[in-house]
Structure 1
Amino acid sequence: MGVAPGVEWGRLRSAAAALTSLTALAATGLVAGPAVAESPGGPCALPRTAAHHSLGVDSWDSAYPRPVGNLDAVMIFLSFPDSVPLNSPDDLARDHFPATSQFFARASYGKFALRPHPQHQWVPMPKSSTGYGIKRDWDSARRSAYLRDAVAAADSTVDFSRYDVVYLVADPDAPGVDADATKVVNLERPLHADGTDIKRVVTVFESHPPDHNVLAHETGHAFDLPDLYHRPTDGKGDWDTYVGDWDVMGSQFGLAPDLFAWHKWKLGWLDQRSVRCVQKSELITLETVEAAPGGSLGTRLAVVRTGEDTALAIEARSSMGNDRDTCAEGVLLYRVQAETASGGGPIEVVDTHPDTEACWDRSVYPPLADAPLGVGETFTMPGTPGERTRVQVVGRTQSGAWTIRITTA
């Protein structure tokens, strides 16, 4: 059920993956030793493994740009000889910006600015849109031709050396354009232009207007974040059983699409001062993940190490910022597995209310919509008596933070 390296689909419910000559280079790095070994992130920092988009946080894969500070993104608009565009490049740019930049500004507590540079003219492609065979299960040779032609056609007007992220946006009304083909392509053999290697591109084939938060999801892949949805082996069934609404990398349609605190730790937006590694029973005050910082970020993530490559993560979610439409507030528990690849369930939200569901008319997966614990509630993780962790929500502070007691076995 894992996603093939290098290909992440924008349509979360109809995604598919194929091994091609443009297969991604899987994230690589040193695997830490025993669970008790120290690392730059502290004893609860899982090691980065060879799994595609590994959620290890003890080091950063330098093959990806790290979204801290300012990063520049070029948006190139491609037209085809078999279609006259119905919209202007500026119209299509407004489909995604400034909304995508605002999403990341809020998620990063202002530590990251994605600066878009949309081009204002169509770049003519040499072949018809139907000639490239654009679809989610894209023939590798045709996809390679599309990428080469796009970069070559834009090279006279775009200086690729100036940009950290490249978006190739196809005319959505061209007859050969398939909206399900939106994805990130990581190039095993980079393209070369303007003295720089182009290692990955975001190929955008969205309709106008596009799916909600689609570019935030795809841009997350460009920063080494994994797909968190579950892909049924037969293409049928529910795609959102792993994390439900709780992260844009699970569903771009989620009611609470802000990134998990674990993702924020990996990306560098949270440091060890905001992550509490729980090795004995503790009373902790958790600031909500979404809250803007008022000076210090405070504790945003509590972690219980459960194995060499696994951990239990605990954070608080509230109806503000990127999560303003959330179905439920409270303390969210989820399992993290650094050795599990993108699409295989590297994060799984714990359903602390397994007998109920919520927001059936809005949630992408109602059984997990009420997953967080509320004030006065206690949940004990299943497992053998020596492995169980109990989380009790004691109360809330006047500022809205959550006071919890974590008891480790």
Structure 2
Amino acid sequence: MRVDGSIDCWGRLHDGQIPAGRFSAIAVGRRHSCAVQVQGAIACWGANWSGQAAAPDGRFSAVAVGLSHSCAVRIDAAIVCWGSNGLGQAEAPPGYYLAVATGYYHSCGLRSVGDVVCWGDNYFGQLNVPEGQFQAVTADREYSCGLRTDGTVECWGLAQVVHPPTDVVTGAEPALAGLGECQQRGTRNNTTAGFPLPRSALASTGTLRVAVLFVDFPNAIAPYSTLDEADRSLGFIEGFLEASSYGRLDIELRPHHRWLRARHDYDHYLHGSSLGSQSLQLGIAEEAARIADPDFDFSGVDALMVVHPSVYFGGGGTGQERIETQEGEVQTLLINTFRVEGRPSAQQWGDVAAHELVHNLGLADLYPYDARRHEPHVEAGDRTWFLTEFGPMGLRAYGPSGRAGYREAIEMLAWSRWQLGWLDEAQIRCIEEPIATVTLSPVADPGDGIAMAAVPLSDTEVIVIESRRSLGYDSGALLDEGVLVYTVDAMISSGLLPMKLAGDPGNAHFDDYPLLKVGESVTVRGYTITVDTDDGNTHTVTVTRDEQG
């Protein structure tokens, strides 16, 4: 696959022509091949005696090719297979998956929780997956192999690698200092809900220098200046992230105030996204850097933010892709990437840019990429429903209210701040005893007080408790002040709900507003959290473990 997204093949070509177009992924089998188009559809070519080249409709993020069957990960994280199914190799079990691999007569999938499941032919034991957490999986004719989260390789079945290497990932996992029992290890992707932060993450303390380039298109020309585009947004980014870090992160934005005209219409740069629609991605950051490079000095820049006209586009995205400039590599994020209609003028996008920058710092999305998992509540009688998103990464709750609407209570979650190194060990209470009482200072301004209590549930799961006040970036966003309780499963990936509010039935619909007031309690996995007092500044809570907890 070339850098422009086209495909070239060489060797002995069988039965079929290479499709034209632009692609984002490719897989090659013995007699057929498949590729994911930039819009998310799959195109296959070659032998089709069992239907292995007859790809289903839909939008996909990854594809794998076996002897006479194929499998792909759909954008809702399900696996779909087609072609030969004589040994069950095309019958993927339900679930949420990050990746898929296909052998001759069996298939394997890496689930969102980090384990591997295989199906199909098991004559040599190639389905007998060992327990544990993995970050990648592959399958061959008679065996399968997985790359564990600690960087070691393990194989099963008639393994051709009897003693797999142990140095696939160079460098040991960094030790978790301090409160290790409450610092759950997370996925080893570009983003995580756990510890440590990914190696690809930008530094979350000190000075972060971000170049800002403004790019429009021949068929979407900005009708105003870049100063108008940046008004209100750039200042929000700096203020929000510096306040969220309690001053530990200094954001230095370097805008290049002129519109850079892309060579092609915006349609040329579209790519299927994890949200099921098309966004501006393909090659636009590289092109923007090339256009700007003669006049813009990227020396010392850590990240490149590309901003499109908000009168035509909204939303954002980041694959944490690194590109080359004349002065060196920079990491990228894209702002205003989804086509929108009917906007009369420039819009505020500072919250979107802050969200994408936090991705570059290593944190995962907390809202579901599959919108069906959090569908809006159906109105009933005289009740209206209010959607609140807690924190910039989108921890969601639908609850009844006197008014319908939406609020971003974007004051950053305490857990996220701890991940980023913005809370000290002394500001965290890790609770391992059967009963404990803790006084919580407001997360927006904890001072020297306790900002968060944590209760470890397993090696990957923890309960988090924090106090939310109508302070900082929660001002005017809360229906009521109170204590927020949520769970973290650090081995669940971005967009697959690694965090959930306590009491979430699975669809984020609550009978009451999720912030607990005095006298209220919630029980999670055998632990009951009760709010004892509220003095207007701090909340005192008691955590009690039941006899079976």
Deviates more, 1:193-202 or 1:206-215: 206-215
CA distance in structure 2 between the partners assigned to 1:251 and 1:348 by the alignment? 7
Matches within 5 A, 1:31-110: 39-42=176-179, 43-51=181-189, 53-57=191-195, 59-110=196-247
| 1:154 partnered with 2:292 | yes
> What are the Cα deviations for residues 56-80 of structure 1, in whole angstroms up to 9, with x where unaligned?
22x3323111221221111111133
Partner residue, 1:183: 317
Q: Residue in 1 aligned with 2:487?
A: 335
Paired residue secondary structure (1:213): helix
Counterpart-to-counterpart distance in 2, 1:305 and 1:217 = 27
Over alpha carbons, which structure has the higher Rg? 2
C-alpha deviation, 1:368, in angstroms: 7.5
Q: Name the CA shift for 1:102/1:395 in 2 (closer, same or farther; >3 Å).
A: same
Counterpart of 1:245 (choices 384, 389, 410) is 389
Greater RCO structure (CA 8 Å; 6+ sep): 1
> Contact conserved, 1:351 with 1:372, CA < 8 A, in 2?
no
C-alpha contact 1:72 1:114 (8 A) present in aligned 2: yes
Where does residue 513 of structure 2 map in the other structure? 370
In structure 2, the residue matched to 1:301 is 452
2:420 counterpart letter in structure 1: L
User: Unpaired segments of 5 or more residues in structure 2?
Assistant: 1-23, 25-58, 64-97, 99-134, 137-147, 152-174, 378-384, 397-405
| In 2, Cα distance between equivalents of 1:146 and 1:215 | 17
Give the match for residue 379 of structure 1: 522
After TM superposition, the structure 1 stretch with the greater mean CA deviation from structure 2, 206-215 or 61-70, is 206-215
Q: Is the 8 A contact 1:135 1:178 kept in 2?
A: no
Structure 1 gap ranges (5+): 5-15, 32-37, 355-364
State whether residues 211 and 303 of structure 2, in contact with CA within 8 Å, keep that contact through their aligned partners in structure 1. Answer: yes
What residue number does 1:225 align with? 363
Structure with greater helix percent: 1
Paired AA for residue 497 in structure 2: G
Task: Give, in whole Å, the separation in 1 of the partners of 2:512 and 2:243.
Answer: 22
TM normalised by structure 2 equals: 0.58
Instruction: Give, in angstroms, the shift of residue 227 of structure 1.
Output: 0.9
1:271 aligns with 2:424: yes
When residues 282 and 234 of structure 1 are mapped into structure 2, their CA distance, relative to the original with a 3 A threshold, is closer
Contact 1:276 1:302 in 2 (8 A): yes
User: Mapping of 1:249-260 within 5 angstroms?
Assistant: 249-250=393-394, 254-260=407-413
> Would you say how many aligned residue pairs link Structure 1 and Structure 2?
357
Partner of 1:194: 326
Aligned match of 1:284 in 406, 416, 438?
Answer: 438
Structure 1 length-normalised TM: 0.77
1:401 lines up with 2:538 in the alignment: yes
On the 8 A contact 2:533/2:540 being kept in 1, the answer is: yes
1:339-358 → structure 2 map (5 Å cutoff): 339-351=491-503
TM-aligned CA deviation for residue 406 of structure 1: 1.3
Q: What's the C-alpha RMSD, in Å, of the aligned pairs?
A: 3.5
Residues 378 and 205 of structure 1, relative CA distance in 2, 3 Å threshold: closer
Identity between Structure 1 and Structure 2 (%): 23
CA distance in 1, matches of 2:204, 2:395: 21
Say which is worse superposed, 315-324 or 38-47, in terms of deviation: 38-47
More strand by share: 2
* Greater mean alpha carbon deviation, residues 244-253 or residues 304-313: 244-253
Counterpart position of 1:34: none
Asked whether the equivalents of residues 440 and 539 of structure 2 are also in contact (C-alpha less than 8 Å), the reply is: yes
Please give the alpha-carbon distance, in whole angstroms, between the structure 1 residues aligned to 2:358 and 2:306: 16
TM-superposed deviation, 1:262: 0.3
Q: Take 1:164 and 1:77, find their aligned partners in 2: how far apart are those partners?
A: 17
Alpha-carbon shift at residue 231 of structure 1 (Å): 3.3
Letter in 1 for 2:324: H
Flag as ranges the 4+ runs of structure 1 deviating above 6 A: 26-29, 137-140
Offset of residue 273 of structure 1? 1.0
Q: Could you list the per-position Cα deviations for residues 114-141 of structure 1 after superposition, in whole angstroms to 9, with x for gaps in the alignment?
A: 222211222232223344347756889x
* CA drift at 1:393: 1.2
CA 1:339 to 1:247, structure 2 compared with 1: closer, same or farther past 3 Å?
same
Aligned residue number for residue 10 of structure 1: none
